């Protein structure tokens, strides 16, 4: 048989793309867990566009996130964030990194559940603290005791983040190892999802 006659080799990446269809992959979790870094690398592996919700919000508002918080307040930022994520989910499939507070809004969680597979990147508080200290542009952490703020936010948010479809531990190992775990876990999830659905011809026959 000539090479041209060989079918395209199946790989976890091609399986993931065909199982996703128009759905996106959405990364959720606390500030500093690596959603953008991991998301960008996952997108490259899957040959999908990468979009960062925070960057899109800044572009839509023509202002930085600290400026939006300062001039208009957090509720205004959250409304814009929900609108931008809704728009981005209509343009799937993409790999979408969300800001740490986005998944707290029920409407956004429901949209993500309908239009995407979600992955919670979960990190220990000390790793989060070490990483967020490197950047001073997070308005929620401009407090007298940022460590206490991170602890409080984690207590409020972790039960909600845990509703994501999948959870991956983000830790101090090379990024590509975390990306590999995301790909493997996503692949297993989508295969299980496909196996639990009746084949298309059976589904249409019973309609
Ligand atoms: C926020 C996280 C930030 C950004 C904003 C609010 C939050 O995004 O959306 O500062 O509420 O946790 P990152 O998680 O990308 O830092």
Q: In this predicted model, what pLDDT tens digit does every residue of 102-154 receive, in sequence order?
A: 999 999 999 999 999 999 999 999 999 999 988 888 999 999 999 999 999 99
The CA distance from 77 to 65, in Å, is 8
User: 70 alpha carbon to ligand 1 midpoint, in Å?
Assistant: 14
Question: Best of 60, 98, 100 to mutate for ligand 1, by most ligand atoms within 8 A of CB?
Answer: 100
Please check the confidence at residue 203 and state whether its pLDDT lies above 70.
no
Which residue is listed with tokens 């957090």?
Answer: 74
Which residue is listed with tokens 């196996």?
Answer: 195
Q: In this predicted model, what pLDDT tens digit does every residue of 160-200 receive, in sequence order?
A: 999 999 999 999 999 999 999 999 999 999 999 988 887 66
Q: Is the peptide bond before 93 cis (omega within 30 degrees of 0)?
A: yes
Pocket of ligand 1 (CB under 6 A): 31, 35, 54, 65, 99-101, 138-140
Q: In this predicted model, what pLDDT tens digit does every residue of 47-86 receive, in sequence order?
A: 999 999 999 999 999 999 999 999 999 999 999 999 999 9
Between vectors from CA 47 to CA 90 and to CA 191, what angle results, nearest 5°?
75
**Given this structure, which CATH class describes domain 11-206?**
alpha beta
Please check the confidence at residue 207 and state whether its pLDDT lies above 60.
no
Whole-number pLDDT of residue 194: 87
Atom 4 in ligand 1: residue holding the nearest Cα? 99
- pTM, two decimals, is 0.92
Q: In this predicted model, what pLDDT tens digit does every residue of 76-85 receive, in sequence order?
A: 999 999 999 9
* SS3 track for 6-54: CCCCCCHHHHHHHHHCCCEEEEECCCCCCHHHHHHHHHHHHCCCEEEHH
Give the chain's largest Cα–Cα span: 70
CB atoms within 10 A of CB 192: 9
Average pLDDT, the chain: 93
């Amino acid at each position: 048989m000539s090479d041209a006659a060989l079918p395209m080799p199946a790989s976890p990446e091609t399986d993931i793309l065909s199982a996703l269809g128009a759905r996106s992959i959405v990364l959720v979790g606390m500030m500093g867990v690596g959603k953008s870094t991991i998301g960008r690398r996952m997108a490259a592996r899957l040959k999908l566009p990468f979009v960062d919700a925070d960057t899109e919000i800044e572009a839509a508002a023509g202002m930085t996130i600290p400026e939006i918080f300062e001039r208009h307040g957090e509720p205004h930022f959250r409304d814009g964030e929900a609108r931008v994520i809704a728009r981005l989910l209509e343009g799937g499939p993409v790999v979408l990194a969300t800001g740490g507070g986005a998944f707290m809004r029920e409407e956004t969680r429901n949209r993500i559940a309908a239009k995407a597979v979600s992955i919670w990147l979960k990190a220990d508080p000390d790793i989060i603290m070490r990483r967020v200290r490197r950047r001073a542009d997070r308005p929620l952490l401009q407090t007298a005791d940022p460590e206490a703020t991170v602890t409080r936010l984690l207590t409020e948010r972790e039960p909600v983040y845990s509703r994501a479809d999948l959870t991956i531990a983000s830790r101090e190992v090379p990024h590509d190892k975390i990306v590999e775990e995301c790909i493997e876990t996503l692949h297993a999830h989508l295969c299980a999802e496909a196996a639990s659905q009746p084949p298309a011809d059976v589904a249409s026959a019973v309609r």
